[in-house]
């Protein structure tokens, strides 16, 4: 059971837009920055979004992030078949058991 | 460009200690400003944070693994290491080393190494 909750799967057609949600609590998302990671099959995760809504150099602006309260959202526009991957949210949990926590991951299928 | 590379045995016997090393290139661990992390992924499952270390030696561990985990750093070799004791089949996973900017912003990852626990 992951500390952060994501939908197991989402799907959309090429060219369309999709959003992936990540729900947490005041001890994690509510009071800390959220990051998003893309994991293509057989590869290591890659940082897509950090500090809720910032993109590292080289990440296209088709990818966006937002946060409201204890939830965060990853948005992907202009879907491409190459976007098929697992997506994870992550943040710091500042409860007594302070640690980095991740969502369970969302499998994106581009139909 | 920072690069990280995991190394260590791919097969460990139950009850023994899993030991992995991460070699960092393209950046110095001792320059500070980053936390050097271990993360694992069970087959077909999500990401699990194991812990991280600062160049000074300060460590933070996942509470669920804390009793079995030791992360250490060797700044002279620009390496950091993971030891996980008393392993069982449940510790079979791909182990990643990574660099954390702060509190979960992990900007560089190693390619990962599969460690299987089996007799």
Per-chain mean pLDDT for chain A: 96
Beta-carbon contacts of B88 under 8 Å, excluding residues fewer than 6 positions away, are B14, B15, B117
Give chain B's mean pLDDT.
95
Residue among B48, B101, B111 minimizing CB distance to A44: B111
Please give, one letter per residue, the 3-state secondary structure of chain A.
Answer: CCCEECCCEEEECCCCCEEEEEECCCCCHHHCCEEEEEECCCCCCEEEEECCCECCCCCCCCEEEEEECCEEEEEECCCCHHHCEEEEEEEEECCCCCEEEEECCEEEEEC
Beta bridge mates, A99: A93
Q: Which residues of B touch A98 (CB under 8 A)?
A: 60
Q: Measured between alpha carbons, how far is B61 from B38 in angstroms, rounded to an integer?
A: 10
Nearest CA distance, B106 vs chain A (angstrom): 7
In B62-105, DSSP assigns E strands to 69-74, 79-84, 93-100
pLDDT confidence of residue B113:
98
- CA dist B3 and B84 (Å) reads 23
Q: Chain A contacts of B111, Cβ < 8 Å?
A: 43-44
Q: Are A35 and B52 in contact (CB < 8 Å)?
A: no
**Is residue B109 scored above 90 in pLDDT?**
yes
Rounded Cα distance between B38 and B73, Å, is 12
Question: CB–CB of B110 and A51 under 8 A?
Answer: no
Model confidence at A97, in pLDDT bands (50, 70, 90)? confident
Query: Can you give the pLDDT at residue A103?
Result: 97
Residue A1 predicted with pLDDT over 90: no
Q: What is the pLDDT of residue A95?
A: 86
Query: CA B119 to CA B111: how far, in whole Å?
Result: 26
User: Taking the alpha carbons of B51, B54, B55, B56 in that order, is the dihedral positive or negative?
Assistant: negative
């Amino acid at each position: 059971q992951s500390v952060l909750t994501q939908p197991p799967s989402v799907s959309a057609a090429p060219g369309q837009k999709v959003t992936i949600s990540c729900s947490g609590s005041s001890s994690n998302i509510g009071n800390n920055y959220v990051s998003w990671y893309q994991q293509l099959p057989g590869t290591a995760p890659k940082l897509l979004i950090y500090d809720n809504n910032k993109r590292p150099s080289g990440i296209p602006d088709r990818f966006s992030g937002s946060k409201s309260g204890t939830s965060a959202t990853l948005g992907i526009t202009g879907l491409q078949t190459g976007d098929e991957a697992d997506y994870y949210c992550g943040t710091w949990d500042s409860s007594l058991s302070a640690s980095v926590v991740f969502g369970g991951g969302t499998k994106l299928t581009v139909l | 460009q920072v690069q990280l590379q995991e190394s260590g045995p791919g097969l460990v016997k139950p009850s023994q200690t899993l030991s992995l090393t991460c070699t960092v290139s393209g950046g110095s661990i001792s320059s500070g400003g980053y936390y050097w992390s271990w993360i694992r992924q069970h087959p077909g499952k999500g990401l699990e944070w194991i812990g991280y270390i600062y160049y000074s030696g300060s460590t933070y561990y996942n509470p669920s693994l804390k009793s079995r985990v030791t992360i250490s750093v060797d700044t002279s070799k620009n390496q950091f290491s993971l030891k996980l004791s008393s392993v069982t089949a449940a510790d079979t996973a791909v182990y990643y080393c990574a660099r954390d900017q702060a509190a979960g912003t992990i900007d560089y990852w190693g390619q990962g190494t599969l460690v299987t626990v089996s007799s």
